[in-house]
Amino acid sequence: MAKPQNGPQSPSAKAPDAAEGYKIGDPGAFARNMVQVGIQSQQLLADFMRRQATKAGSGEPMDPLNITGAFTELLRGMVADPGAIMEAQFQLWRDYMGLWERTARRMMGSEVEPVVSPASNDKRFRDKDWQENQIFDFIKQSYLLTANWMQATVAKADEKLDPKTKKRIEFYTKQFADAIAPTNFVLTNPEVLRTTLQSNGENLVKGLNNLLEDLDRGGGQLSIRQSADTFKIGENIATAPGKVVFRNDLIELLQFDPATEQVYKAPLLIFPPWINKFYILDLRPENSFIRWATAQGYTVFVASWVNPDKKLAKKTFEDYMREGIFAGLDAVTAATGEKKVNCIGYCIGGTLLSATLAYMAANNDDRVNSATFFAAQADFSEAGDLQVFVDDEQLEALKQQMDEAGGVLEGGKMATTFNMLRANDLIWSFVVQNYLLGKEPAPFDLLYWNSDTTRMPEATHLFYLREFYKNNCLSQGKLMLGDQKLDLSKVKVPIYLQSAKDDHIAPFRSIYKSTKLFGGPVRFIISGSGHIAGVINPPAAKKYQYWTNDAFGSLPDGKMAKPYPAKVEDWQSGAKETPGSWWPDWDAWLSKLSGPKVPARKPGDGKLKVLGDAPGTYVKVKAR
């Protein structure tokens, strides 16, 4: 209901207008569609029960996330302090009384301030009826009161628990609060309810068809389609011109065509994460980092990781170093004749690069000229919400799942984990749009890439989770590769550390810790946005910003300022904000380390033969 403009109104003054959108268009068509919805729902329920029975008999763990263990610890904490629970319940009752009182006053025509409002970045309550309609405004505020109360109560109750258990409980409590939001249900979402009544339920029929298709595509597991399937790799996405010049079991090495007549002497070799595919760096021409880097005069190589199957289940983290980074370095040298190579590591590709640099330093291997890290961690003591998925029970459950799958982690399971970090944006918004409103997702290159999942070899993935996320061995000098103990302080090459302000996967606080780990000159920056948009931000877009602080570390001209302070807050207090992309800052840093200009190199000019066109064959292998 709209607010009165000229004094109090009768409660029903606006009722006819407000109710207009909530009328059934054709009762007969509505009834027929509801029968169809009922039939489809029975099919879904039967399929679900069948899958649960199969799962129960397969030996696969019923609680792979160990949620039961976390909330058992919470219950013990609550039982130990019943007074705090009683006080919390009384506070919730008092808040509800305040909401009832204000709602009653609003229904009598008075203007009142809300008891609680959504966060400014909460996109769930954008429909006008969440504000204008008294009933839906009450539902919204009731939910927000309950969700906030639930999370605050849990936070108080788990204060005596160890930090990791505390974090897991708070994470799963938020997941539950997000799942029960009124926006996720037909009768309590005004937009969905209006659409259902006006379309005679056609949206629910279409939505259930979308749901069935997603279940079928996921082989019985829900695989939410986040983007329209209008992209084709090598045709309208991943189109930077280049060639495949090397291939082994783990990588195809792509060398991209030069965009300038002269290039820097030192080539550039990029190691993306193998958790996803390399073309995040080459989505479309206008946001392609690869195209931009070649335009700056770099000879760009990219490792396109294989999408591993059961045959590669035994590949280890050390194999990824030897057959990935070492093989890539050897191939770049063969292709260009250069023994010094600038490297970039993105996310887990950067973690591998960090460990490899320590291994190389211990063995006097100086082939890497400089290293840039995109959203990559070496110290995992503050590694964000992904830590909630790593404890002994969950790792054992994960091992069982991979054993059942033949020694690989299916890509969909990894994608679900990452989507849970931003559940409202990457799960529930699509539940509403695709299944409740019955809409087709819009074409979105980044979300198409996000859904193009890859598998994980069991040996590599378990090593990564145990030794980095759980035990944080690399930062403590305890990690072993081969027979070599790794020490990052022996790495003396120039380092560029990019982090992002809103990164939930590799938080900037975590990346900042690397400023104290490496033994050579380090430049650290914070960009705007998150794990993807914080990295993929071309200058022409004129979006976001980045922060630098030239009082510390390595400057763009290669000179050294003061050592980095212990806390990132002290670095931030004197940081300078610059609008737009951070890429030019990185280019100013790297160009000074890349030697003189030489005639541009084309794929096939060196000792490596061309094996095929970019983007190659490995990138086109689907997880299913």
Closest by CA to 342, choosing from 524, 496, 518, 471, is 496
Contacts of 206-210 with CB under 8 Å at 24 or more apart are 206/438, 206/439, 207/434, 207/435, 207/436, 207/437, 207/438, 208/37, 208/40, 208/41, 208/44, 208/435, 209/40, 209/438, 210/434, 210/435, 210/438, 210/440
Q: Are 153 and 90 in contact (CB under 8 A)?
A: no
Other CB atoms closer than 10 Å to residue 284's CB: what's the count?
15
Helices (H), ranges, 180-244: 190-198, 202-217
User: Is the dihedral angle over the CA atoms 273, 279, 283, 286 positive or is it negative?
Assistant: positive
d(CA 388, CA 164): 7
What dihedral do alpha carbons 556, 558, 559, 564 form, nearest 10°?
Answer: 70
Letter for the amino acid at 460?
A: T
* Annotated catalytic residue 347: yes
211: left (phi over 0), alpha (psi -120 to 50) or beta: alpha
- Record the tokens describing residue 595, joined without a space: 């030697």
Q: Are 407 and 458 in contact (CB under 8 A)?
A: yes
Three-state DSSP class for 464?
helix
d(CA 118, CA 78): 28
* Cα–Cα distances in angstroms (integers) from residue 583 to residues 17, 424, 538, in the given order: 52, 30, 7
Say if strands 597-599 and 484-485 run parallel, antiparallel, or are unpaired: unpaired
Phi and psi at residue 486, to the nearest 5°: -95, 135
d(CA 604, CA 125): 55
Catalytic residue among 147, 224, 347, 500: 347
Secondary structure in 3-state letters for 50-115: HHHHHHHHHCCCCCCCCHHHHHHHHHHHHHCCHHHHHHHHHHHHHHHHHHHHHHHHHHCCCCCCCC
Q: DSSP readout, 102-165?
A: HHHHHHTT-----S----TT-GGG-STHHHH-HHHHHHHHHHHHHHHHHHHHHHHHTTTS-HHH
Q: Is 165 exposed, middle or buried, given 0-12, 13-18 or 19+ CB atoms closer than 10 A?
A: middle
By annotation, the residues acting in catalysis are 347
